[in-house]
Amino acid sequence: MDMKDKYMGPFLDETEENLQQLNECLLAFEKGDQEVIDEMFRVAHTLKGMAGTMGFRAMMSLTHAMEDVLDGVRKGSCRLDRKEDVTLLFNCLDTLNALLEEIRRTGDDGGIDTTALVEKLKEAAVSERASEKTSQPAQSESEGRLLEVGVTLSDECLLKGARAYMVFEEAGSLGRIVDSNPPEKTLMEGEFEGREFSFILETERPPEAVKEAVMRVSEIRSCEIKELVESDEESGSAEGKAPRESGEDESPEESGNGSGGLKPSAPGVYRTNQTVRVDVQRLDKLLNLVGELVIGRSRIERLAKDSEFREFEEPILQLGRISKEIQELVTKLRMLPISFIFDRFPRLVRDLSTELGKKVDLRIEGRETELDRSVIDEIGDPMVHLIRNSLDHGLESPEERLAAGKSETGLLRVRAYQDGSSVVVAVEDDGKGIDCAKVIETALEKGLVTPEQAENMSEREAYQLLFMPGFSTSREVTDLSGRGVGMDAVKSKVEALGGRVSVESVVGRGTSVKVKLPITLAIVLALLVEIGGRTYAIPLESVDETLRVEKDQVKVVNGSLVTVLRGEVLPLIDARDFYGLKRRQEEEDLAIVVMRTGFRRIGFVVDEFVGQQEIVIKSFGDTGITRIRWFSGGTILGDGSVVLIIDPAAVEESA
């Protein structure tokens, strides 16, 4: 099998992780942390080795040039103390990300020219030479120590040749590899038996440094190092030194298992996380099967209940417990920390604040909060919109902040936390806040509201205008704002995910935008209701409460049904009228589902409450059915009947 085909998946995953690590290091370095230079050098060195193994020459040449510059900084022969130098490294990072996407798309990196960047890096390595250090007598080669390094790969390692290559790259950066067992060619091809190999390293570095370098490579179970003692007769040539520490009468237990003196792993050795990479398509298929299992379990439970055979009770309970545990396990397998999104924000804020001429202190909290992968995939762009909006509209310039008695550096806090069966993601700033009067004035100018509506508009209703298509308070169109897009896209995307957006603001003190999202979109609790003789489902996340209202408590105001609930006027939408069904009898009391969409609460009048049930959401895209207005998908109940899932946001917009 061609190496690119064989190793492409792991290469893409590990390169993406290394580029994220490089991004974090660059941001820290820009803030004055000089200690990350070693880590940046290591990442560049690793990327160079991986790209070289795969034959991606553009990426290899760029990372090699970066490695030279960073190595010079480590040794004190180069400086990176100008803003242009840091910007150059950020440009290199952007180009490496572009190369990665090119490889992901085409299988090669030849479509992107890195020559200009490589030349700039070479110039930086020459022009930024520090003053010559005091010359010191060079050590002779014989002063370096000889180390026998035994490496054991983890059981999960599938790419033995790639891992061996990376180990040699890491160790080779600290000295010279004299010999190996098996031979280097066999190691690089991954054709050796077992998961163990050894090599002799001539180096001036201590064994601890070598062990640390080797263990930085993923999927390494352990690394054992012995310092070799050379006799007087053998002191001439490093290549002639025997990989042996003591006499030839060493016992089998002491000499290891015959693989170059390697020892079995012992307590206290370094170990990698025992994890396995799984294709997301397999997880999706597994989740679909679990969904079918949940549906089948519901049907069996219903049949057992109808049959009234008591012998079924115990096995049914056991089946329910097992299927529930499987469902929870699969759901957890699909969960990802929100850091997958949050880790992009430091670079985003850095670039935008520089462009806007603003000083920003970014604080990120709750990186470990988990969401379903499907939610993670969709929420990234809306979060970017919110951050851009906060930087552009919320935070003032340093001069404006000082004039207002504030610190010239604005605070932008992005945090996530779990709230019941939901996750809340908040973007908060200590900027100028939202002027409701200005928002209403802009809406009037754009014809989005009438003068009568504007006169009686509450603060919350004014905030809702921010999410209307075409709304923008910017007078000028720039790359960041003024085009009337952004917040409406945020609202649409969040509500499509079954979530909602809320805004809180105090003029002069700042703004908080909160996005509440369901943890998973696959299997959720729903309220089952009856409308016109058919059963429908409403996601429980969108339901505030249910109630029954007597007919005389319902009034008609401006042609619309309303009722008063604990002093609040609640607009009502009759499901029968909404779906064009036969009108209900006048004497009937009303069963009302109070649904919340954004800032607004709506009373959805149904015929009857059926109960709560765990449902498996089947989107129309999965079934090949074109999206049906007012419904977000369907599900199958225990009796085998198909039920449509009502979309509260679509109902509110269409009312």
Catalytic residues: 45, 67, 389
Q: Measure the CA–CA gap between 523 and 614, rounded to whole angstroms.
A: 7
Query: Which two structure tokens, joined as six digits, stand for 47?
Result: 């990327």
Contacts with 598 (C-beta within 8 Å, 6 or more apart), sequence order: 464, 467, 491, 495, 500, 501, 502, 649, 652
Strands 196-203 and 175-181: antiparallel
Q: Are 177 and 171 in contact (CB under 8 A)?
A: yes
DSSP state of 344: T
160 to 200, 233, 514: CA distances (angstroms): 19, 37, 47
Q: Are 510 and 428 in contact (CB under 8 A)?
A: yes
Assign 3-class secondary structure to 277-315. CCCHHHHHHHHHHHHHHHHHHHHHHHHHHHHCCHHHHHH
Contacts with 645 (C-beta within 8 Å, 6 or more apart), sequence order: 526, 536, 537, 538, 539, 615, 617, 631, 632, 633, 634, 635
Q: Measure the CA–CA gap between 521 and 283, rounded to whole angstroms.
A: 14
Task: Indicate the angle between helix axes 313-333 and 280-307, nearest 10 degrees.
Answer: 160
**R_g of the chain computed on alpha carbons:** 32
- The DSSP H or E segment spanning 229 is none
Closest C-alpha to 219, from 181, 276, 289: 276
Closest C-alpha to 14, from 158, 113, 114, 191: 158
CA 596-437-399 angle, 5° bins: 110
CA 438-440-441 angle, 5° bins: 60
Assign 3-class secondary structure to 77-118. CECCCCHHHHHHHHHHHHHHHHHHHHHHHHCCCCCCCCHHHH
229 to 144, 148, 178, 235, 521: CA distances (angstroms): 12, 11, 15, 10, 62
Contacts with 367 (C-beta within 8 Å, 6 or more apart), sequence order: 337, 338, 339, 342, 343, 416
